[in-house]
Structure 1
Amino acid sequence: MTSSAPRRTVLAAALAAAAGAAAPKAQAVDAPRETAARPLAPSSAPRRSKSLVDYHAWTTAADWHAGKHRGTGATHGARPGIRITRPLGTVEYTDPHTQKTAAWEYATWTAPVHTLGAPATEVVASWNAHTPAGTWITVELRGTYSDGGRTPWYVMGRWTSGDGEDSIRRTSVDDQKDGRSSISTDTFAIDDPASGLRLVSYALRVTLHRTPGSGRTPTVWRLGAMGSDLPDRFEVPASAPGLVGRELRVPRYSQEIHKGQYPQYDNGGEAWCSPTSSQMIIESWGRRPTPEDLAWVNPDYADPQVCHAARHTFDYQYDGCGNWPFNAAYAATYKDLEAVVTRLSSLTDAERLIHAGIPVITSQSFLKTELDGAGYGTAGHLMTVIGFTENGDVIAHDPAAPDDRAVRRVYRRRQFENIWLRTKRYDDKGKVKSGSGGVCYLYWPTRPTPRQRRVLRELGIR
């Protein structure tokens, strides 16, 4: 089993490609049940300052009107957004993955400059958009350094939900740098954080593209970014159990049963941890691909929706399905779902989300000896946190299981929290590598419950 390990710079250290690992062994368990959370004594462990992570997004009608429109207009209603109203003209784009050159009508929207709550060493953008056939978007970031200098406009992704002949191949863009910062797949990073250089503010720009004369348009409902400046650390403070004893109802899907299927998408299911995790959580909210969506999948394959998720999160430049914002954007293609990429500070934050009914998709890397019961090690792997046992251990749906029945796991709280939140680790050769620093995907309905809305807001997400 090889989990998808995003090839990105994390705190200025390159993350190695995913290491091969044996398929884990697990005992069959009973189907999960949803139970009420039982609060324990509040944690007295030190918590990371919220100022180290700054997620900001534009989502409301007022937000869209505040930006600079060039050929775009705001849409109103239950889910405000932006769309093409009068194209600025046409631009030619040569798709590096098909070598096809085509002209596209385009329009742009530029967000107001956002000043970070704390200067950042990393920024990850994410977005929610509808891209009908023959349309796509480009998301860019330009920032200001702490010494007053500015970055170029960096491409954070070229996105479309499809991959037909009437569109482009969704892609990240390599080789973007200015000697002080660079883009690694989906992550902006300061090249030398020890120098003290930081990003103090940024602007996001989205360009909407469509086939000339078609009248179709992308619609962007959410545009945001997570900036952070986390300390280098191999160990993180332990949190004490708080809201425990709740388990959410979430489908179980194994990536391993898809081994060898559709190898053009990141060598098949062995590397599909990210889309498999995304699909589990999407379906926990009652959303699924239609039979028409799945018509392309071999009918002999089990769980065809996992194949669908892999295809529609695949980054043709990264050559994998582990692009963080592409997974969030895929989730948001389902009716009335919102999705972001951010960081959390502890399992206490995850408990609050679970208590409110929102599962958490986490990114971690670890040796086989660092997570009891996993049965494998990985340089990068996504799994879902769906609950907590009565003593505060983590209930996870781990897609690296050999089959769907074995997906549900219980992992020791302290081990799980450390491998998820740390920013530095040692690989099996004793070399220092990077950790994700608490990266997660969060998916929830456009109309959350009051409790869900409150918890999201308290975690800096609106």
Structure 2
Amino acid sequence: MSPSPRQPRPVDNHFWTTYADWRSGTGDGTRAVGGGRPGLVIGAPDGLTAHRDPHTGRTGTYEYAVWTSPLYRTGVPATEIVASWNADTPPGTWLAVELCALYTDGSRSPWYVMGRWAAADTDIRRSSVDGQSDGRSSVSTDTLAVADPASGIRLTGHRLRVTLHRLPGSGHTPTLWRLGAMASDVPDRFTVPASAPRRTGELRVPCLSQEIHVGQYPEYDNGGEAWCSPTSTTMVLEYWGRGPAPQELAWVDPSYADPQVCHAARHTYDHQYKGCGNWPFNAAYAASYPDMNAVVTRLGSLEDLAVLIRAGIPVTTSQSFRKEELSGAGYGTSGHLLTVVGFTDAGDVIANDPAAPTNEAVRRVYRRREFENVWLRTKRYDARGNVASGTGGICYLYWPLDATPAQRKALAAVGVR
């Protein structure tokens, strides 16, 4: 059976990462730094600002600096945009990421807050912002979306703005290494075309269960089924040899197994969404470890997955399905993260699925055609027979700075650089 023809990719990724990129934007108090990993830092602060954290009630005064990207015109007139950023935030520092979209008619959206973020949770509570809309588009936690795609309105470009904050006189600064967004216009579909299997093998990604954490840390959404995203993120970080040091885990109850999963849940928790499933927050957490890159994107097929697996890059995917739609899962879900680690010789999907009762039960094999559909579709029927949304191939990609040439080629093949 010959491979199905590649379809035009309805996804456009664009990220600012180089010294020239940081110099190309407009900086008010920021400074570009070069070296092995170019970034953006606070130079001479642009001023002082007061920030009241709605989740603690505390008001702090911070020095700040602002960087605004050039306008990027997407190759895909989009219905959705998801931002990603990779940064270091020492104690006393944090950042806010905003996005302004360009509409088909040339008008622009307001500046939407896509996240207020710090790696730790002592200075601010990381959070998304609810209630942002101009009637034509709105932000739902981590995703900017056109309100009515049938209207023909599309997002044809965007600018990103980041505000770096630090305590006055501290001398510390956040360092921003990567800032960008994934714009997409995935066609509405209940089913997707079948793809032909190719040999890929299987990656040795550690197996971790979210279910052994049921009832742990109610303040971070109570473990169990709520922790699929940080558990998947932890598995991939451990594959790349990254994770918290023992002293960073001292806060975790010593009776809990796999404390690194508890740590990831705490440090991906969105205090507005009240959960650990914020996509950019998981990526930012992964990239807070030394020399890691992380983005949120969409892939178009299982062949895209296979390209990455063959290069040694596991992929964390998001999907939703009824129990009977994914044989062997044993559950249904309105949204769940797992990590694809390979394919069988027959082309079925090998996944580290954290929705397992033990670590030993995490490795699963799912039928290729079933997995392909529940991951890539944008529409589905829920358990009540109502039409609900699908995730349209969204995923996390995490990889190290010292990626091999083959890994860089694979990432470029799926539109990520």
CA contact (8 A) 2:211 2:223 kept: no
- Correspondence for 1:56: 14
Alpha-carbon distance in 2 for matches of 1:276, 1:189: 27
1:240 pairs, out of 196, 214, 220, with: 196
Q: Cα deviations across residues 402-429 of structure 1 (Å, max 9, x unaligned)?
A: 0100000000000001000000000000
Aligned position for 1:17: none
CA displacement, residues 210-251 of structure 1 (integer Å, 9 cap, x when unaligned):
01111100000000100001111000011111233x110111
Corresponding residue for 2:352?
Answer: 397
- Matching residue of 1:12: none
Q: Which of these residues, 137, 159, 165, is aligned with residue 181 of structure 1?
A: 137
Matches within 5 A, 1:86-165: 86-164=44-122
Cα deviation digits, residues 93-152 of structure 1 (max 9, x gap): 110000111111100111111000021010000000000111000000001100111100
Matches within 5 A, 1:259-338: 259-338=214-293
Give the superposition deviation at 1:46. 4.3
2:77 alignment partner AA:
P
How far is the alpha carbon of 1:267 from its aligned partner? 2.2
Task: Tell me, yes or no, if the aligned pair for 2:199 and 2:345 is still in contact at 8 Å.
Answer: no
> 8 Å contact 2:29–2:42 — kept in the other structure?
yes
Is the Cα–Cα contact under 8 Å of residues 47 and 345 in structure 1 kept in the other structure? no
Match of residue 182 from structure 2: 226
Is contact 2:199-2:344 (8 Å) kept? no
Select which of 76, 79, 89 maps to 2:34: 76
**In structure 1, which of residues 399, 422, 434 is the aligned counterpart of residue 389 of structure 2?**
434
Note the 1:343-358 alignment, pairs <5 A: 343-358=298-313
Q: Aligned to 2:212, what secondary structure does the other structure show?
A: helix
**Equivalent residues of 2:42, 2:173 under 8 A apart:** yes
Over aligned residue pairs, what C-alpha RMSD do you find? 0.8
Compute the TM-score of the two structures, normalised by the length of structure 2: 0.99
Mapped contact 2:320–2:334 kept (Cα < 8 A): yes
Q: Which residue identity does 1:57 align to in structure 2?
A: F
Matched, 1:443 2:398: yes
Q: Report deviation, 1:48.
A: 3.5
1:261 counterpart letter in structure 2: Q
- 1:25 is matched with none
**Identity of matched residues, %:** 67
SS in structure 2 of the partner of residue 264 of structure 1 = helix
Aligned residues: 417
Would you say the 8 A contact 2:37–2:177 is kept in 1?
yes
Contact 1:72-1:109 within 8 A present in 2 as well: yes
Distance across 2 between alignment mates of 1:332 and 1:233: 33
Offset at residue 270 of structure 1 (A): 2.5
| 2:328 match | 373
Q: TM-score, normalised by structure 1?
A: 0.89
Aligned match of 1:30: none
Deviations 1:283-335 (A, max 9, x none): 00011210111000011100000000000000000000000000000000111
Determine the C-alpha separation between the residues in 2 that align with 1:227 and 1:139.
16
> Gaps spanning 5+ residues in structure 2: where?
none
- The residue that corresponds to 1:205 in the other structure is 161
Q: Secondary structure at the match of 1:381?
A: strand
Distance in structure 1 (CA, Å) of the matches to 2:193 and 2:359: 33
Q: In 2, are the aligned partners of 1:47 and 1:237 still within 8 Å (CA)? A: no
- The residue identity in structure 1 corresponding to 2:68 is T
| Correspondence for 1:459 | 414
Checking the alignment, whether the CA contact within 8 Å between 1:136 and 1:209 is kept in structure 2 is yes
Q: Distance in 1 between matches of 2:223 and 2:391?
A: 24
Consecutive unaligned residues in structure 1, runs of 5 or more? 1-40
Structure 2 counterpart of 1:169: 125
Amino acid at match of 1:69: G
Deviations 1:39-96 (A, max 9, x none): xx651x244411x100100011111111111100111111000000110111111100
Counterpart-to-counterpart distance in 1, 2:188 and 2:323: 22
Say yes or no: does 1:422 pair with 2:381.
Answer: no
Secondary structure class of the residue paired with 1:176: coil
Partner residue of 1:339 out of 248, 272, 294: 294
Q: Which residue of 2 aligns with 1:214?
A: 170
Match of 1:34 in 2: none
Runs of 4+ in 1 over 3 A off after TM superposition: none
